[in-house]
Amino acid sequence: MKSKTLTKILLVLVAAPLLVAAILASAYAGPAPSGPGPAWATLAPVLSVGGPGVGGVEGMSVASVGDEIIAALGFDNFAGDTSTTRIYDIASDTWSFGAAAPGTSSEGAGVAHGGLFYTVGGRFIGPRADIWSYRPATDTWNAALTPMPTARAGLAIAVVGNSIYAIGGRTSTGGPCTGGPLATVERYHIASDTWTPVASLLAPRSDLAAATVGGKIYVFGGCDAAGNFLADVDVYNPVTDTWSAAPADMPTARAGMYPVATKGGTVYVIGGWDGIGFGLSTNEAYKVSQDTWTAGLLPMPTPRAEVGAVGHGGRIYIVGGSQPAFGASVDANEVFKP
């Protein structure tokens, strides 16, 4: 397994913004990419509480419902942690605000199921155990769902069948990889509004990412209890309630990707943090059926961590994030056509 040792994290978290190499973002600007070959394009920027162009947002809970991307909560440069619901209409390339969430949070995780958007966990003063659902069709939130048994931020979530799995995370609310990683995995049964503990991760991990492919959950990267940045890929089989290590690790050890996006049977892991500089532009793809990675894909124009990622219509949308340091959010909204 590959890992990088996390050093001087507290110094990094309070340091002045770091210089980040230019990615020549202008080369990718323009409308949604079309035609042959991979390409990036720049889309309408994420809405800030203060208005367009005022600030950015990181650590949102993000998922797509129909032809809309829901980007809820998150840390806004203008307002700190928020209860804001942001709605991106893919067809018109426009943002709007929805009804405010039941509470304030960031660094939770989002997923969609059955026409509803769910946000799970996160932080506000302390770690949160809340699970809230949002119905875009009526612009209404439901705060009456049963909370997770284990409060946490920096977790990953995934859907298999009619259940949502809350995976890993941390008890610390100081930002990615700041301590208290968890191996805890809990399953939420949507119909019965109940939580059940299931098999724990192979080792505690925070600020990891997850995706469901072929009825199994794949988790990527994160930080462990020793402060290492991980390249590990582990696999959960819900039928046998067991975890195993995938043979092929990520080419780049990193954390803070939060959601990852899939296209068919391929998972795209984009951005994140490697403990050296904040906000990677790294773009790597994992073909599940062959257990192989493709590294060095066309880099993301705006390097960043704590992003939202959504696969829709054969494209990968990367929403918001932080760059060059956490607490320095960006309003970037970019789309990748593999």
Structure tokens at 5: 């040792």
What's the pLDDT at 31?
A: 56
The residue-averaged pLDDT of 122-133 equals 96
Outline where the chain has alpha helix (H): 9-14
What tokens were used for 6? 């996390």
The burial class, CB within 10 Å (0-12 / 13-18 / 19+), for 126 is: exposed
* Angstrom distances, CA of residue 44 to CA of 12, 67, 96, 187, 319: 31, 15, 11, 35, 10
* Residue 188 domain boundaries: 3-337
Distances, alpha carbon 35 to alpha carbons 31, 42, 55, 181, 261, in Å: 12, 16, 33, 43, 21
Q: CATH code at 121?
A: 2.120.10.80
> Which residues contact residue 168 at a Cβ distance below 8 angstroms, ignoring those fewer than 6 apart?
152, 154, 155, 156, 181, 182, 183, 184, 185, 201, 204, 205, 206, 208, 219, 222
Q: Domains in the chain: how many in total?
A: 1
3-state SS class at 269: strand
Beta bridge partners of 213: 216
Q: Which of 228, 61, 280, 90 is nearest to 155 (CA)?
A: 61
- Tens digit of each residue's pLDDT (9 = 90 or more) over 201-260: 999 999 999 999 999 999 999 999 998 999 999 999 999 999 999 999 999 999 998 789
Segment 28-55, tens digit of pLDDT: 334 568 667 899 999 999 999 877 777 8
- Find the mean pLDDT for residues 161-177: 95
Structure-block tokens of residue 1: 């397994």
Instruction: Report the distance separating Cα 230 and Cα 249, nearest Å.
Output: 9
Whether the pLDDT of residue 89 is over 90: the answer is yes
Query: Taking all residues of the chain, what is their mean pLDDT, rounded to a whole number?
Result: 89
